A = this chain, B = another copy of it.
Amino acid sequence: MITALAGGVGAARLLRGLVQVVPAAELTAIVNTADDMVYCGLYIAPDLDTVTRTLAGTFNEVKGYGVADDTWTVLTALGQLGGDTWFELGDQDLATHLFRSRRLDQGHPLSQVTAELAAAAGIAVRLLPVTDDPLRTRVRLQAGEEVSFQEYFAKLRHAVPVASIRFEGADVATPAPGVLDAVEQAELVIVCPSNPLLSIDPLLAVPGLRAQLASRRDRIVAVSPIVGGRAIKGPADRLLAELGFESSAAGVAAYYAPWVGTLVVDDVDAALAPRVEAAGLRCVVTDTMMTSPERSAALAAVVVDAGGLDARPLGRVN
């Protein structure tokens, strides 16, 4: 059994590789929910949707969110009414949000609704939201104001310096059913190349999870989301620097050192390997740019191997 800690796009790309090299039914992904929000009354879970759709092959890779080949019937009508259309809700996308919102209204926990949506999408990977409880990223700007994740990310386009980040609700959240067991029982825990501060930290903030992970440190392999000093996507590089860490694979190693045993870094960062190891982590150097499903699978095979498990030969599908 393999358990992955997952944010959005970077995690989804590694997961699409993992299902090519290990049986999907042996994979569990614990997914960040701190970016979730309510918009127009609808409960929207960006990371769960990104992972689900990527695994289902329906993710809109061009936009980086939403459903591929979606239609815009409702958004067009909303625009005709004079409504906000900056938040691009496609028709298929809306159906997901309506489904989830309705099931939550009926009292079903997010973990169950997530499983229903994964089943509807035909996904064999077990997807677990990190918690069924409300968890919300709050970003304190250096200018003083505290804003929501969406306001920081979408409205301000993460172009403003950040002073600190906290996860509202974390102190009273409990891990969703199966989360702690998935860490405890995994032969390998993979930290996907997601934003350490915005996607992985919220998982650690849920009581019990950080300690559980730290106890499995030598079974944990992370993939650096920082390549050549830059984030592949999003503001992880600037955030690391703003919060006092080095924006590099070595910085990621230092940040993860208390609970991660191995860090996979990109070929361009090979020279940083000694610094990663000086931080107390094993370092594995490989191509981490998952620009195609094939490259995702190749990276996944290296990660699985780094964890001491056998990857299936590439090219074979479950």
Complex Cα distance A80/B121, Å?
10
A99 contacts across to B, CB distance below 8 A: 78, 81-83
For residue A82, give the distance in angstroms from its CB to the closest CB of chain B: 5
Interface segment among A39-47, A179-187, A245-253: the answer is: A39-47
User: Is A38 among interface residues, defined by CB-CB distance under 8 A?
Assistant: yes
Total residues of chain A contacting the partner, CB 8 A: 33
Complex Cα distance A42/B80, Å?
19
Given contacts A41-B105, A105-B40, A116-B82, contact A98 B89 (CB under 8 A): yes
- Smallest Cβ-Cβ distance to A87: which chain B residue: B102
B42, B81, B96, B97: which contacts A95 (Cβ < 8 A)?
A: B81
Given contacts A40-B41, A40-B42, A43-B41, contact A98 B74 (CB under 8 A): yes
Complex Cα distance A82/B112, Å?
13
A120 contacts across to B, CB distance below 8 A: 80-82
User: Is A92 among interface residues, defined by CB-CB distance under 8 A?
Assistant: yes
Complex Cα distance A102/B74, Å?
14
User: Is A227 among interface residues, defined by CB-CB distance under 8 A?
Assistant: no
Complex Cα distance A120/B77, Å?
11
User: Is A71 among interface residues, defined by CB-CB distance under 8 A?
Assistant: yes
For residue A155, give the distance in angstroms from its CB to the closest CB of chain B: 13
Complex Cα distance A95/B81, Å?
8
Asked if B83 and A95 sit within 8 Å, CB to CB, the answer is: yes
User: Is A117 among interface residues, defined by CB-CB distance under 8 A?
Assistant: yes
User: Is A69 among interface residues, defined by CB-CB distance under 8 A?
Assistant: no
- Interface residues of A, dominant DSSP: helix
A39 contacts across to B, CB distance below 8 A: 102, 105
For residue A130, give the distance in angstroms from its CB to the closest CB of chain B: 22
A82 contacts across to B, CB distance below 8 A: 99, 116, 120
Complex Cα distance A41/B39, Å?
9
Asked if A83 and B71 sit within 8 Å, CB to CB, the answer is: no
Asked if B40 and A101 sit within 8 Å, CB to CB, the answer is: yes
Complex Cα distance A221/B268, Å?
83
User: Is A163 among interface residues, defined by CB-CB distance under 8 A?
Assistant: no
User: Is A277 among interface residues, defined by CB-CB distance under 8 A?
Assistant: no
A40 contacts across to B, CB distance below 8 A: 41-42, 97-98, 101-102, 105
Asked if A77 and B89 sit within 8 Å, CB to CB, the answer is: no
B74, B92, B116, B117: which contacts A94 (Cβ < 8 A)?
A: B74
- Smallest Cβ-Cβ distance to A42: which chain B residue: B41
B38, B43, B95: which contacts A74 (Cβ < 8 A)?
A: B95
Complex Cα distance A78/B38, Å?
19
For residue A145, give the distance in angstroms from its CB to the closest CB of chain B: 18
Complex Cα distance A97/B89, Å?
14
For residue A95, give the distance in angstroms from its CB to the closest CB of chain B: 3
Interface residues of chain A, those whose CB is within 8 Å of chain B, are: 38-43, 71, 73-75, 77-78, 80-84, 89, 91-92, 94-99, 101-103, 105, 116-117, 120
Interchain residue pairs A-B with the least CB separation, the first 7: A41-B41, A77-B95, A83-B99, A41-B101, A73-B91, A78-B95, A40-B101
